[in-house]
């Protein structure tokens, strides 16, 4: 049991893990998705869950921040793990706090002594404290934007959070659907996780991962990483999965969305990561990114993990 001192002198004693599902708008916090279990070190996963409960903040959002900032302490940048080392922006520790921000929000997880930015327990509970004081759980997007003033950052964190929430009991917790329905299978989750890991990779026509991706190259590589073989180009990817078409208002993370003049003239494909958003490699001069899939030429969605071999 961990005791944390909250801002204002109040103290909060954490409840057992079985009580986690009682908070945060019905998100299932007792059953992390298979992606979460596979990707998050067990000690970090427990810290995210405990901090989420302690501050009524969805733990998958904390985990999403932990992924984007320092890959749960595994990033080779010494600023993520080496005591006292900061990056060029002055941020340090696994949740990448600035010294000035740490002075305002830093909390010692033990409840005693000075909080340490490079201590994972202190950093994670302090991130929960930050989110709580900046709008969570009522306005998750606002809270994450306050953490890093970038809409792209918000999208990336919430896409990871969506993967980490249980695929069986997750539901939206913010007006803008910050967390949507979980991916429908472990392969879909793995494909989305791969695609998210490619964010910022340059677009390269014909690219399949060596230096860049085009749209269908990214899709093929993502599902190959999940153990699902797909054809190389967008049209044949649609043709191979069309038997498992999904209504556009029922897509889940991992589904493919297709664009073009018709289903026989497909020109682009993306991977759904959350309600209304996809990861795609859009065009020359752009990087792999998260963006809306509500394009005028959106023609179909399919679920490749259900395709017959």
Any idea what the CATH number is for the domain that residue 203 is in?
Answer: 3.90.1720.10
Q: Are residues 143 and 268 in the same domain?
A: no
Q: Are residues 114 and 196 in the same domain?
A: no
Is residue 227 domain-resident? yes
Q: Are residues 259 and 206 in the same domain?
A: yes
Q: Are residues 148 and 268 in the same domain?
A: no
pLDDT tens across 257-309, in order?
Answer: 999 999 999 999 999 988 889 999 999 999 999 999 999 999 999 999 755 44
Q: Are residues 123 and 31 in the same domain?
A: yes
Is residue 102 domain-resident? yes
Q: Are residues 38 and 117 in the same domain?
A: yes
Instruction: Give the per-residue pLDDT at 306.
Output: 59
Q: Assess whether pLDDT exceeds 90 at residue 45.
A: yes
Does 27 or 202 have the greater pLDDT score? 202
Q: Are residues 124 and 34 in the same domain?
A: yes
The residue range of the domain holding 141 is 3-164
pLDDT tens across 223-236, in order?
Answer: 999 999 999 999 99
Listed residues 104, 133, 164: the one ending a domain: 164
Q: Are residues 190 and 136 in the same domain?
A: no
Lowest mean pLDDT among 69-78, 95-104, 135-144, 176-185: 176-185
- Give how many domains the chain has, as a whole number: 2
Q: Are residues 15 and 83 in the same domain?
A: yes
Q: Assess whether pLDDT exceeds 50 at residue 176.
A: no
Q: Are residues 18 and 77 in the same domain?
A: yes
- In order, the DSSP letters of the chain are --EEEPTTS-EEEPPPGGGGGGSGGG---SS--HHHHHHS-HHHHHHHHHHHHHHT--HHHHHHHHHHHHTTTT-S-GGGTSTT---TTSEETTTTEEHHHHHHH---TTSSS---TTSHHHHHHHHHHHHHHTTTTTTHHHHHHHHSS-HHHHHHHHHHHHHHS-TTT----STT-SS-PPPSSHHHHHHHHHHHHTTTPBB-TT-BSSS-B-HHHHHHHHHHHTT----SSHHHHHHHHGGGB--GGG--TT-EEEEESSTTSEEEEEEEEETTEEEE--STT-BSEEEE---TTEEEEE-GGGS--
């Amino acid at each position: 049991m961990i005791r944390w001192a909250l801002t204002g002198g109040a103290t909060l004693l954490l409840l057992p893990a079985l009580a986690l599902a009682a908070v945060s708008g019905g998100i299932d916090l007792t059953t992390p998705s298979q992606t979460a279990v596979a990707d998050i070190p067990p000690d970090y996963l427990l810290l995210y869950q405990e901090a989420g409960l302690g501050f009524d903040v969805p733990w998958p959002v904390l985990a999403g921040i932990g992924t984007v900032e320092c890959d749960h302490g595994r990033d080779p940048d010494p600023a993520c793990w080496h005591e006292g080392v900061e990056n060029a922006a002055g941020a340090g520790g696994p949740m990448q706090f600035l010294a000035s921000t740490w002075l305002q929000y830093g909390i010692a997880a033990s409840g005693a002594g000075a909080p340490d930015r490079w201590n994972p327990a202190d950093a994670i509970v302090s991130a929960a404290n930050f989110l709580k004081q900046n709008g969570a759980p009522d306005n998750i997007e606002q809270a994450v934007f306050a953490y890093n003033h970038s809409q792209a950052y918000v999208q990336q964190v919430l896409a990871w959070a969506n993967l980490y929430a249980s695929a069986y009991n997750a539901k939206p917790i913010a007006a803008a659907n910050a967390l949507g329905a979980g991916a429908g299978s472990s392969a879909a989750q793995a494909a989305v996780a791969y695609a998210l890991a490619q964010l910022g990779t340059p677009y390269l026509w014909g690219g399949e991962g060596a230096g860049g991706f085009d749209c269908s190259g990214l899709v093929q590589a993502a599902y190959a990483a999940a153990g699902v073989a797909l054809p190389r180009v967008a049209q044949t990817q649609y043709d191979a999965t069309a038997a498992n078409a999904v209504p556009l208002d029922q897509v889940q993370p991992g589904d493919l969305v297709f664009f073009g003049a018709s289903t026989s003239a497909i020109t682009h494909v993306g991977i759904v990561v959350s309600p209304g958003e996809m990861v795609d490699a859009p065009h020359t001069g752009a990087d792999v990114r998260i963006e809306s899939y509500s394009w005028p030429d959106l023609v179909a969605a399919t679920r490749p993990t259900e395709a017959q071999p």
